[in-house]
Structure 1
Amino acid sequence: MSPTFSADSTALDVVDGLDLRGRAAIVTGASSGIGVETARALASAGASVTLAVRDTAAGERAAASIRSSTGTGEVRVAEVDLADLASVRAFTEAWSGPLHLLVNNAGVMHLPERRNDRGWEMHMAVNHLGHFALATSLLPALIEAGDARIVSVSSSGHASSGIRFDDMFFERDAYDPGLAYGQSKTANVLFAVEARRRWATHGITTAAVMPGGIWTNLQRHWDPAVLADMKRRYPTKTTAQGAATSVFAATRADLTPGSPVYFEDCHPASVVAQIADGLHGVVPHALDPASAERLWDASMQLIA
């Protein structure tokens, strides 16, 4: 009988008993937070893990920690700045061999208004378009694996905004960091929906995950009073518990055609009209196939 996991499970719990030797994994944003714990769990099960990070010095410290705790040397660090398509291109051009697991974990949250060199609002630039460019450029390596999985780290924050197709980068409307973050997290789920449809014939499966309430460096731009209130009101996970759902989706979840796309607490989430408790469920606009296809086409044009 397959083991069962819950909100209390850790990433190491999920990989207990798994053998990932011979499998190559990339985890973006793996120099801190749940990214480190995701990479640690995959490495502990024998996977060869690349920490794809913007700050390589922090990445090397994370890699040293993973090597020390797991006893494996199959951990390397590579630079990628997801806001910079030239950096993404350099990373993917340097990759060789099959890629079995791609965990799109890196992200930014509630930034003050910022844009990249193409004028893209930074949440969409990093959280969605950078990862979109990464995944599509790595498609040959994913196909070569034969049974690759892509996991996109989303958030219950997706409920705050669908894709603003008429003003995706807040060029017309006043900038709102909550809406900017929300639409980028919706984009993460829609990517999983459309990539599964397009790439299933290549043996590639996809999922989006909600890690849970974890307080990391991601919330550094929040108002301190709001952050303190959130910590009082909502249950908190450790980073190891927060990484568990990413690892579950990457290794154990049923991702066959027709199965759920969005996971939380190591199980499929319920589709809800609104996320009443701020944490659980996925709203319909994040699963809409027409929006997923439209976003894919728009994203392809943007990164061209």
Structure 2
Amino acid sequence: MTWTADSMPDLSDRRLVVTGANSGIGLEATRELARAGATVVMACRSRDRGEAAAGEIHADVGHADLVIESLDLASLESIRTFAAELDGTVDVLVNNAGVMGIPRAETEDGFEKQLGINHLGHFALTAQLSDQLAADGRVVTVSSAMHERGAIDFGDLHSRHSYGPWEAYSQSKLANVLFARELQRRFEAAGTDQRSLAVHPGYADTDLQPRVARAKGSRIQLGMMWAANAVFAQPASMGALPTLYAATAPDVNGGGYYGPGGLLNMRGYPDRQEPSKRAQNPETAKRLWDVSEAETGVDFSL
């Protein structure tokens, strides 16, 4: 399937919320959504970076309808404030923001940072926006092929006893797929036409990889990351296609998992794929949902 951003329908009557919209996949997705006529709420941790990104999009697209809002997914208070101040219907929520492979740190609320931002923050955000989601609305959660290496360690969810940066990242990305699939099950049980989908960008040239090296203070690793991106990665604009497909294509299936369909599922145009067996375990998904409610203090009932 050769599906590109030009394949998107007219979005002039749609409003989307994109977390982490100021860089990488989020920036490219926002650019193309705006080009298709959508109103895009750019939910960014840094308002300054959000405004700079919006300026770049305006220079490229011209007619972009962008709204910049502050959102720090490492803070449940920030999430509550964002959700309370966001009026009106949300047609699509794109849970995109994330961190990867960083040294162990904790969020404002004491969560291991990768799980806290990548999963728990988005879980809380989705819960608090669920009443505003359109009757035919979608929730698109950006995971990673690294979810295949992940396991949910319910005995040490926040890696307080043992921490590996990539183990924690893989756990958070597995949590993304489990959450997306469980949300779809709950949409169906509630009898709604809403859809929840998970996607992954493949190996895309974004700042996420070099940020890992900068967090470790390693110039050698930083150079290697930049070189690998230059040689092996596909452009961020291609990495954004699965997100755009899941958010806008009429033929996507709720509960589906979409990523690049080319070489090793790391490059190419979007295609439906199968997540790992662990990601398809409904008992794990339900348990994670219950734990996530308890951890974040939100009641996510439909």
Question: What TM-score comes out, normalization by structure 1 length?
Answer: 0.87
CA contact (8 A) 2:35 2:64 kept: no
Aligned to 2:257: 262
In structure 2, the partner of 1:294 is 287
Aligned to 2:173, which of 165, 185, 203? 185
> Shift in Å at residue 22 of structure 1?
1.4
Q: How do 1:93-172 residues align onto structure 2 when only pairs under 5 Å count? A: 93-142=84-133, 145-172=134-161
Deviation at 1:73, TM superposition (A): 4.3
Match of 1:243 among 225, 240, 244: 240
Aligned: 1:197 with 2:192: no
- Partner Cα distance (2:259, 2:253) in 1: 17
Contact kept, 8 Å, 1:14 with 1:247, in 2: the verdict is: no
2:62 corresponds to 1:74: no
Q: Does the residue aligned with 1:64 lie in a helix, a strand or coil?
A: helix
Contact 2:119-2:172 within 8 A present in 1 as well: yes
Q: Give the equivalent residue in structure 1 for 2:80.
A: 89
Does the aligned pair in 1 maintain the 2:18–2:96 contact within 8 Å?
yes
Q: CA deviation at 1:210?
A: 1.1
AA of the residue aligned to 1:178: W
**Aligned residues: percent identity?**
38
1:226 positional shift: 5.7
Q: Matches of 1:13 and 1:46 in 2, distance apart?
A: 12
- Please name the residue that 1:276 is paired with: none
Structure 2 letter corresponding to 1:168: L
Give, as a single letter, the amino acid of the residue that structure 2 aligns with 1:141. Q
Partner residue of 1:224? 222
Structure 2: runs of 5+ lacking an equivalent: 214-220, 261-269, 298-302
Tell me how far apart the structure 2 counterparts of residues 190 and 253 of structure 1 sit (CA, whole Å).
23
Which whole-Å CA distance do the structure 2 matches of 1:75 and 1:104 have between them? 17
Deviating runs (4+, > 4 A) in structure 1? 228-232
Counterparts of 2:11 and 2:256, CA distance in 1: 23
Rounded to whole Å, the distance in 2 between the matches of 1:224 and 1:46 is 37
Q: Which amino acid aligns with 1:70?
A: V
AA aligned opposite 1:289: P
| Gaps in structure 1 of 5+ consecutive residues | 272-281
What is the match of residue 199 of structure 2?
209
Aligned length: 278
Q: Distance in 1 between matches of 2:121 and 2:195?
A: 19
CA contact (8 A) 1:5 1:14 kept: no
Q: Distance in 2 between matches of 1:151 and 1:87?
A: 21
Once the 2 structures are TM-superposed, how far is the Cα of residue 287 of structure 1 from its aligned partner?
1.8
RMSD over aligned Cα, in angstroms?
Answer: 1.8
Q: 1:194 to 1:34 in 2, by over 3 A?
A: same
Question: How far did 1:74 drift?
Answer: 1.4
Superposed displacement of residue 119, structure 1: 1.7
- Pick closer, same or farther for the CA change 1:64–1:226 going to 2, 3 Å: closer
Q: Counterparts of 2:29 and 2:226 in 1: how far apart (Å)?
A: 26
Query: Partners in 1 of 2:183 and 2:240 — Cα distance?
Result: 22
1:138 aligned counterpart, secondary structure: helix
